[in-house]
């Protein structure tokens, strides 16, 4: 992993960053240790990683657009599958970008998450295996999903539609399910939070990305209090890190000071290769495995895998 030197944060620096984070209620952070067994060094990219004792369901959410939710979902899933994990990506964003990046057809009248959520189609009919990626699967989203927010309003147990679909899905013994959410806090995101046992928040290393963090965490608290008490904010990933700017270092340090070990030690740098990969229907893990972005996502996925094994 490329080592990025961070500029120490002066206590008087960046009042805007401090003001943004002051709205985030301080929470006790559970200490999580990334355990790497002997014979598998942190820099190693060979061999299988330990499988979790039960399926880990991650909701990847942040109502701020452009922070790397889809990119994170796709590349973490690809990295995990490359090391012996069985992974399902559930695309809940009507734009269908995760489906595009995994070369899964999501245009026209194809079985998709709209039919699963609104028409009660069994999830097994929508899930497709990703080409040339054994162990990686995707449930695509079409533009029809844009209307699901309205149609779900009148349905019974509208917040639990996705949870019920996942519970009935037993075609493959999965290790990870990554749910890619739209950039909003509507019913689709609530369904994702209801269905998951872990929350992963990608945070762009810029000031604007912090402004809505307090609102997101308040919504998470509401979901935990009324719908899903087992939901755990387990992982925060800092994305689009630019080591040339002082602000990126300040944001990273502030987020770490508030959330402690929930923040992965890996920083995802800005990378042209990461942006190019979806246009070829690939994750950056297969498009350019030697790029800085691919190596960073590989290291982030390893951290997640070994944290899960230590639970």
Please say whether the beta carbons of 90 and 179 come within 8 A: yes
User: What percent of the chain has a predicted confidence (pLDDT) above 70?
Assistant: 84
Average pLDDT, the chain: 84
- pLDDT band per the 50, 70, 90 thresholds, residue 310: low
How far is Cα 288 from Cα 273, in angstroms, rounded to an integer? 7
Give the span between the Cα atoms of 113 and 104, in whole angstroms. 13
- Token duo for residue 112: 């998709």
How far apart are the two ends of the chain, measured CA to CA in Å? Answer: 25
User: 230-261 pLDDT, tens per residue?
Assistant: 999 999 999 999 888 888 998 899 899 989 99
The closest of 37, 137, 149, 136 to 92, measured between CA atoms, is: 149
In sign, the C-alpha dihedral spanning 194, 159, 95, 127 is positive
The model carries a pTM of 0.84
Q: Specify whether the CB–CB gap between 273 and 296 falls below 8 A.
A: no
């Amino acid at each position: 992993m490329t080592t990025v030197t961070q500029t120490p944060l002066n206590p008087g620096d960046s009042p805007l960053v401090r003001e943004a984070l002051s709205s985030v209620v301080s929470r006790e952070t559970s200490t999580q240790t990334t355990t790497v067994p002997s014979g598998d060094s942190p820099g190693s990219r060979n061999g299988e990683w330990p499988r979790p004792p039960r399926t880990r369901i991650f909701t990847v959410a942040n109502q701020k657009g452009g922070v790397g939710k889809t990119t994170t979902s796709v590349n973490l899933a690809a990295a995990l599958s490359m090391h012996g994990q069985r992974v399902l990506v559930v695309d809940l964003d009507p734009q269908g970008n995760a489906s595009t990046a995994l070369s899964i057809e999501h245009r026209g009248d194809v079985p998709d998450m709209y039919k699963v959520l609104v028409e009660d189609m069994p999830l097994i009919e929508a899930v497709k295996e990703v080409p040339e990626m054994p162990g990686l699967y995707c449930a695509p989203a079409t533009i029809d999903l844009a209307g699901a927010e309205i149609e779900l309003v009148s349905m019974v147990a509208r917040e639990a539609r996705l949870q019920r679909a996942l519970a009935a899905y037993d075609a493959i013994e999965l290790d990870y399910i990554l749910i890619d959410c739209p950039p909003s806090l509507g019913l689709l995101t609530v369904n994702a939070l209801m269905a998951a046992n872990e929350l992963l928040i990608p945070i762009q290393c810029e000031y604007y990305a912090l402004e809505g963090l307090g609102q997101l965490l308040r919504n998470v608290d509401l979901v935990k209090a009324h719908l899903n008490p087992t939901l755990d904010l387990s992982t925060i990933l800092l994305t689009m890190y630019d080591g040339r700017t002082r602000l990126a270092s300040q944001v990273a340090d502030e987020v770490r000071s508030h959330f402690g070990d929930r923040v992965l030690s890996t920083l995802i740098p800005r990378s042209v290769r990461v942006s190019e990969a979806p246009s070829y229907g690939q994750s950056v893990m297969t498009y350019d495995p030697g790029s800085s972005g691919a190596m960073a996502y590989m290291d982030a996925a390893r951290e997640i895998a070994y944290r899960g094994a230590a639970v």
